[in-house]
Amino acid sequence: MGGAVADNGSGVSGVKVVKSEQKKVRLHTEAGQPIDVALIDADGNVLYQGLVSSAKSKDLTLNLNSLPDGQYFLTASTNNWWMSQGLTIQANAVNVDERKLKQIEQPQITTYAKNKVQVVVPATNVEDANVAIFDAQNVPVLTETLNGTIRRYDLSSLPEGSYTFVVGPSEKKFSTRIDIRR
């Protein structure tokens, strides 16, 4: 999945990670809903987990002085989007590499014909998004890796009923329910 989203340089929903001092980073968030934040090391260990909740613009500063050299990831998410910013600590300094920014927004699932659905995944640098469709009993009727940012599904062969699309990379899944009618 490539950069199918217009990027204004501020990341999803105005969230941006910037270096603020030698070994400190600042997560800038705009007004809106609460944002889950985590700092994760290269082995997947969660080193910090918190919530930024504000009615107006809010910054969260993370002091990384106690961390050794290595690769880290600062993640932020809501129900509508997820991002991960790669950080490298080397020689007692942190580097925020914008090329290591991954982000995905809530997929757009729309009907383009009777019982035919289009999935659009607005994402940047996310290569491993999956699509799973579950029936009303939560039994998977289709699972696949999404190649590209747009995929169409003909669900005409499925029985009438409610189905749930679960779309996203392993780090963040989004769910949308649709109905098949005859």
70 CB contacts (<8 Å, ≥6 apart)?
Answer: 41, 42, 88, 89
Q: Where in the chain is the domain with CATH 2.60.40.3080?
A: 15-104
Positive or negative: CA dihedral 55, 41, 146, 17? positive
Positive or negative: CA dihedral 43, 48, 49, 53? negative
Q: What is the pLDDT of residues 95-116, one digit of tens each?
A: 998 889 999 999 999 999 999 9
Tell if the pTM clears 0.95, that is, is over it. Answer: no
Q: Where in the chain is the domain with CATH 2.60.40.10?
A: 106-180
What's the pLDDT score for residue 20?
Answer: 85
15-104: CATH, from 3.40.50.140, 3.40.50.300, 1.10.3720.10, 2.60.40.3080: 2.60.40.3080
CATH of domain 106-180: 2.60.40.10
Q: Residue-wise pLDDT tens for the chain (182 aa)?
A: 433 333 334 457 678 898 888 899 988 887 577 889 999 999 999 999 988 876 555 778 899 999 999 999 999 998 889 999 999 999 989 999 888 999 999 999 999 999 999 999 998 888 878 999 999 999 999 999 987 889 999 999 999 999 999 999 988 999 999 999 87
Three-class SS of residue 43? coil
Q: Among residues 39, 32, 42, 34, which one has the least CA distance to residue 65?
A: 39
